[in-house]
Chain A
Amino acid sequence: MKSNESRIKDLRFTFHLFRRSLLSMVGLILILILLIVALIAPFLASEHPSYVEVPTEQGTTRVEERWTIYFDRALQPPSLQHPFGTDDYGRDIFSMVVYGSQTSLRICILVIGISTLAGIILGGLAGYFGGVLDEILMRITDVFLAIPYLILALAVAAALGRSIDHIMEAMIITWWPSYARLFRGQVLAIKEQQFVEAARSVGANNSRILFRHILPNSIAPLLVEITLDLGAVLLVAAGLSFIGLGASPGTAEWGLMISMGRTHMFHAWWYVTFPGLAILFVVLGFNLLGDGLRDVTDPKLRR
């Protein structure tokens, strides 16, 4: 029989389970839309930002987004040329929302990606080797777990200036501990399984056991958590930008746009609405997708 038949059959069953829940499919579609929009942003948007180098307080330079300003068409309601209307500087909101998807996606992926990596490495080492190493790593994790992300973001912004990179760093620092804990728990459970013992009995060394046996079997709950967290990260980032800690003014970031649009809320409803809707649908999409994944990976529902 062909070498991939089993895997394909398995995948098909997984997809079937997934398909049964309409909401999960909705979530998947929403995220797919996000990905597509982010990918074809330059082709979708009618106006495009430029990127300039700007000196920072430390003496280095930083790249910032700049949108052309058209005072004469400020705060125009949605129309054919400007499907989402224009903001108080005359910039096309639709294009900004579209480009904002790229920013948001970048934030989510980087924050979650690095946190997960750190969490897996530290949690995995702690769980597998146990003993003193476990204790030390877990205490370090506890320390980081205690840091509230908001305070840290404020501190970083105060010290180093506001930028998206800084809030990403702040988020990574506070996000990885929960992954470390989660993964360590999984590793502890899988470590005791007989097939790990079997691998040891045929002479597998630690790295082989970790990568080929423990990791593939313990990653499932982590995947669910990651998907849900992608939405959470987006919300946090938008929130930090909203209160002025993240993106510098003029960047097309959804949270920032909502913040700017607040003052114009009653006479230019489109300014806050469309970025807000974007955040809503993306976070909803991730949540539904994560829920769907959780149902699919539940061993009781399989077969």
Chain B
Amino acid sequence: MTDPLLNASHLKEYFPVKRGIFSSTKDYVKAVDDVSIQIRKGETFGLVGESGCGKTTLGRVLIHLIPPTSGTLLFMGENLSEITKRELRLMRPHMQIVFQDPSSSLNPRMTIKQILSEPLRINHRYKGEELTKKVLELLKTVGLDSQHLYRFPHEFSGGQKQRIGVARALSLNPDFIVLDEPTSSLDVSVQAQILNLLKDLQDQFNLTYLFITHDLSVIKFISDRVAVMYAGKIVEYANTPDLFRNPTHPYTKALLSAIPIPDPRQRSKHIHLSGEVPSLITPPPGCRFHPRCPYASEACKRIEPHMKEISKDHFVACF
């Protein structure tokens, strides 16, 4: 079994909550609380959760865009928290990110050519004629062409802007790309185009993806393995078919049942979840899901459950 491309153990990302100018900060937003995952080369790892669960933060921590508060992050064998800034700069091209909102992830005052040449220029790869050629190549890879070169982002549709975002992520020939809700703001038919494109690119360039979304149907389509996140912790993860066939954690079950199915003959009964997503500053003690869990026991209120392997490659944190 080869080493995983990315090996994260016990990652924590706490953001201090400032209170006043001179107070010592006691409160933290525990966006990522003791998360450990391994991502294998060439796979698509899906990360699912609702808003406020910390998945966006986790995505950024995994490529060290935000340095983790604690924990180890091994990428291609290197511990990203312990290398120098310059070494980190060298690693950057291998781990890229595609953002959720195509409108705000492209500088509105730069032309497409400038946006796409920037990563190439920074990393001393190309200049002048060669640069233009490389940019054109990138555009073609994502299905755009030379007439788009000198236009501004606002002249494009959402789907096209997202393609540009993908092109930018590809420009440095990365091994690993974090896709932070890349299709959530797009129309259904455009989403299909982008998802197909992402799959093709993965085959073409042998990429590894971390796909973050809240849409379980998309996750099922695109990922090999899935992790479900709730309130800063991963509550369940497994191979995709296993997770959908046999959801174990109560939150996973509720999440699955809540998805509206586009087939009027199957009107599912929603599992009702009362309450709200907990605050990440003062999460509930013990299992974070217990206030809303229909199966909560006394133990759930006091002790945090650990990950248990319930079947091959299928892990759950629940009693």
Contact = CB atoms under 8 A, between A and B. Distances in A.
A5 B147 CA distance: 11
B122 A201 contact: no
Contact of B118 (A2, A3, A193, A199): A199
A199 B155 CA distance: 21
B267 interface: no
B16 interface: no
Contact of B105 (A194, A216, A303): A194
A142 interface: no
Contacts of B21: 135
Contacts of B105: 194-195, 197-198
A91 to B, nearest CB: 50
Given A201-B63, A201-B97, A5 B150 contact: yes
Given A200-B65, A201-B97, A202-B96, A195 B107 contact: yes
B109 interface: yes
Contacts of B106: 195, 198
B92 interface: yes
Contact of B107 (A4, A6, A217): A217
- Interface residue tally on A, bucketed by range: 20 to 34
A204 interface: yes
A201 B92 CA distance: 7
B283 interface: no
Interface residues of B, number: 34
Contact of B152 (A10, A199, A202): A10
Of A4, A5, A135, A204, most B-chain CB atoms within 10 Å: A204
A203 B119 contact: yes
Interface in B79-134: 89, 92-93, 96-97, 99-101, 104-111, 118-119, 122-123
Interface string B143-168: 00001011110110000000001001
B98 to A, nearest CB: 9
A1 B149 contact: yes
Contacts of B147: 1
Contact of B99 (A1, A194, A203): A194
Given A2-B150, A6-B152, A217-B108, A208 B122 contact: yes
Interface of B: 21, 63, 65, 89, 92-93, 96-97, 99-101, 104-111, 118-119, 122-123, 147, 149-152, 154-155, 165, 168, 171-172
Interface of A: 1-6, 10, 135, 193-195, 197-204, 208, 212-213, 216-217, 303
Given A194-B104, A202-B171, 16 more contacts: A1-B147, A4-B150, A6-B155, A197-B65, A201-B96, A201-B97, A202-B92, A202-B93, A202-B96, A202-B122, A202-B123, A203-B119, A203-B123, A216-B109, A217-B108, A217-B109
